[in-house]
A and B are shown apart, each in its own frame.
Chain A
Amino acid sequence: MKKFSIITVAVAFLLCSVILFISSCEKDLNEEINFDSYAFTELDADGGTWNPLVLTSGDQITVAAPPALTSAEYLQEVENLKETMNQVSSEQKDAIKYWGTNSVLRWNQIANDMAAKYNLPPAPNPDGTYSAPDAANPSAYPNFPFAMPPYTCRMLAYWSGAQFDALITVWNQKYAHNCPAPYKTDASISPLLPENDLPSYPSEDAAIAAVSEVILSAMFPLEKDFIKQKADELKNTRLWAGTNVAMDIAAGDSIGRAVAALYIDRSKTDGMKNANVSVAVADSIENAALAMWGWHWENLDIPQRRVGILPRFGNVQLWFVPNVEAVRPGPPPAPGSEQYNNDVEELKKFDDKLTNEQRDIALYWNDGSSTYTPPGHWNRIAYSYIENGKLNPLRTARVFAYLNMAEMDAGISCWDTKYYYHYPRPSGAEPSIKTLIGIPSFPSYTSGHSTFSGAAEEVLSYFFPEGKAAFEHQAQDAADSRMYARIHFRFDCEAGLVQGKAVGAYAVAAAEQDGAD
């Protein structure tokens, strides 16, 4: 009987340990990033004089002068604010914390999540054809948009460019009217967000919310209601937190809408609507490449996608690069050439044996369907640098504007190169090569990941010199990841990095001249 009880105790002990062990593994996950609220390092009082990107100047759009601080109208707004603050619920306090002091970061995360949500390729129709999303009928399958990298880089470029121009305008008007924050004019108000000396009229957050609402709703029409709810919430948090009165919000909102409208105008005529083509046009592009180079790319999916992703995206209007030829590399090595054979051999070695580290790099940088794509990944990389530097929203918007416009230029340049050379994928040229991830549906040369990453490395190194070595390492990993996954040749990736850095240099040259540094 003694033996029996020892075993019983041992079994009970083991069971308890197992339960404890598993519950310790089940830790809570960060669904969203926590952006801490902080006081800004610099206020950039001259920000209203910086050069905007689509607007001609920071005072192109103006708002009416606010009422005097002693006027009945202003005092009434302050009284209303105090009443609102008295009734702030714990839910509203959570919203204040969620948006924090720098709402540009939160919107960036929201935009990235929407890109991930819409980044799914259309499924084949029963007859083996594929339908393209239709902007005029976004809820029909396949839903509009399909947020693959060209779509996502363009979405981010318009959205962050408009934010930057709107905030230059807001800063211009803030210092033109010099209306202090309500907590400066009424000592009884203690704000729920860090104080600063920025004039509060117009509200920067209202402009950020309005720009985001207009641009993101145009880019993701099915999310219109969700986006509006987010924008309204952000504007309200500024009242709940006691940092702005209602007129600040209204003025900021009007600036945001006016600037966003100019960006929407540009987007309508930038060539994106012609970027997708018919099967006949796709075939003619392919045949032209075959006649010129002696090779051509073919989609390898079954059933075959007869049209690659956005064959004419290379014709879309650039931001900083004068023309695609300025950064288009020379032709890739011909199949059968010595360099080609060497690079094929390298891929076959990766096909035979990949270290776990190489595999993990390939998967970490996959950034494929249901993710925010490489441009979104590079936006995310910038978050911690922005937070560590305690950048104000204007400076933050500047980083994202140059980063994302450079990413769009990188996408346009890379897509021009891809369809100009129409080079086959490794598995297309050498069917024995198997891959670790899905093969993207566009030509191989140059690598999109490498081009996006080269441009991002260049731009982020300008804004955050302390991160230069890290950005370089990350860009190299992003490029190498495509070889480890065997969806690109080495020459695709090397040329892509060079092309991306050249694109980034144009963006940096523009940033150096915008009056901010």
Chain B
Amino acid sequence: MIMRTLLTFAVTFSLACPSTVSAQMPNDGFMMKPGVLCIDVTYEHSRWNEYWEGTLKRDNENVGTLRRHTLSPMFNLGIVKWLNAMASVHYVITEPTAGQIEGAKGFSDFNFWLKAEAWRKKLGPGTFNILATAGLMVPMSDYVPDYPYAIGLGCIEGNFKGILQYRFDKGFFVRAHTGYMIRGNSKLQRDYYFTTEGYYSDECEMPNALDYSGAVGYYLPDKQIRAEIIVDGMHTFGGFDMRRQDMPFPSNKMEFTRMGAGVHYYPSFAPGLDIHAAGGYTLTGRNVGQAAVMNFGLSYVFQTWKREKKTEDKPAYERPMN
């Protein structure tokens, strides 16, 4: 009972917004060509020692620094020219450096997305394209969503994103995306909880959420480097603030803005390989930790089936390209 002096919010953004920058993500502007498969493994590390309890920025000596490790295998397959399918799973470990309450670990959620290029046009010195994704997130283990160091939100989520990108022929690109997340109820291991009033239920209603990002970057298929800087953020529609010295709860109001950058390296000695890394830092937030996040990953891209037109003799791999 009682006196959980602690705690904080482990479920931060890794969930809401997978990685700052990595290989072909649902909210970037790049597509895989038909029959091209990208397999990726990314490790992400995030940590914070201050968080926003509602709007109050604070630390918590009973948490110390909360570290979160996420290993995410992922694939992205080009189905037809305008359609890609992606899926990923996350294995998450959370560990506080202080206090007695233990961290959590396990598979959190399974994600699946379809990404479509809806429109593309050569315009002036570059190409303009519009993409849309629809995704589904499903908890894949019996984890505890209202645990102070939870590994996930515990709800089913459908997400829909729109992406605009303009890429100059000389390699610079600008991109913006926004997405809407529709969330089902989160299932709890108890049948009473208090938000702003008491609920006699073992489920909590999750607020829907909006995310967005803006990025500028540089990428040419025949160069070995792709880089971008990105500002992204999220906010929920509804949800409630953590009260003073209260524990976090899955249906808290959550907001953040974050600044980050990422780079991909395509070594010429290993065609198809993509070595990528990214980092970011939370600038503002509400009921989330002020996290610094770093990730590092490897992708391998290869052709699984030949395209119908056998006129070109392409290499067995293709770079992600629009």
Contact = CB atoms under 8 A, between A and B. Distances in A.
A440 B1 CA distance: 6
A120 B6 contact: no
Contacts of A367: 1
Given A18-B134, A370-B193, A434-B101, A27 B157 contact: no
Interface centre among A29, A305, A427 (most CB of B within 10 A): A29
A263 to B, nearest CB: 25
A4 B184 contact: no
B158 interface: yes
B146 to A, nearest CB: 8
A367 B191 CA distance: 10
A439 interface: yes
Given A7-B79, A30-B200, A30-B201, A149 B184 contact: no
Interface centre among B185, B194, B246 (most CB of A within 10 A): B194
B247 A369 contact: yes
Contact of B2 (A303, A427, A441): A441
A79 B134 CA distance: 64
A369 B3 contact: yes
A434 B199 CA distance: 30
A364 B190 contact: yes
Contacts of B147: 363
B194 A113 contact: yes
A364 B189 contact: yes
Interface residues of A, number: 69
Given A301-B62, A359-B189, A29 B246 contact: no
B1 A370 contact: no
Interface stretch (A187-195, A202-210, A244-252, A371-379): A371-379
Interface string B172-199: 0000000000111100011111100111
Contact of B102 (A29, A31, A305, A436): A436
Contacts of B102: 351, 434-436
B3 A27 contact: no
Interface centre among A30, A120, A373 (most CB of B within 10 A): A120
A97 B5 CA distance: 39
B189 A300 contact: no
Interface string A2-37: 011001000100110011011101110111110000
Contacts of A149: 1-2
B116 A374 contact: no
Nearest to B196: A117
A14 B158 CA distance: 12
Interface string A91-121: 0000000000000000001001100110111
Interface in B195-213: 197-201, 203-205
B311 interface: no
B4 interface: yes
A7 B82 CA distance: 10
A224 B240 CA distance: 24
A298 to B, nearest CB: 13
Contacts of A113: 194, 197-198
Nearest to B195: A370
A441 B147 CA distance: 20
A133 interface: no
Interface in A396-441: 427, 433-441
Nearest to B80: A7
A73 B302 CA distance: 95
B83 interface: yes
A441 B6 CA distance: 12
B142 interface: yes
Contacts of A368: 1-4
Interface string B218-248: 0000000000000000000000000111110
B142 A356 contact: yes
Nearest to B6: A438
A31 B144 contact: no
A455 interface: no
A380 interface: yes
Interface in B133-169: 134, 136, 142, 144, 147, 155-158
Interface centre among B83, B99, B192 (most CB of A within 10 A): B192
B11 interface: no
Contact of A31 (B62, B79, B99, B197): B197
B41 interface: no
A369 B2 contact: yes
Contacts of A32: 198, 200
Contacts of A479: none
A302 interface: yes
A439 to B, nearest CB: 6
A368 B1 CA distance: 4
Contacts of B201: 29-31
A25 B139 CA distance: 13
Interface centre among A11, A119, A120, A438 (most CB of B within 10 A): A438
Contacts of A116: 192, 194, 198
8 contacts: A15-B114, A18-B134, A109-B200, A141-B244, A301-B3, A360-B189, A364-B190, A438-B4
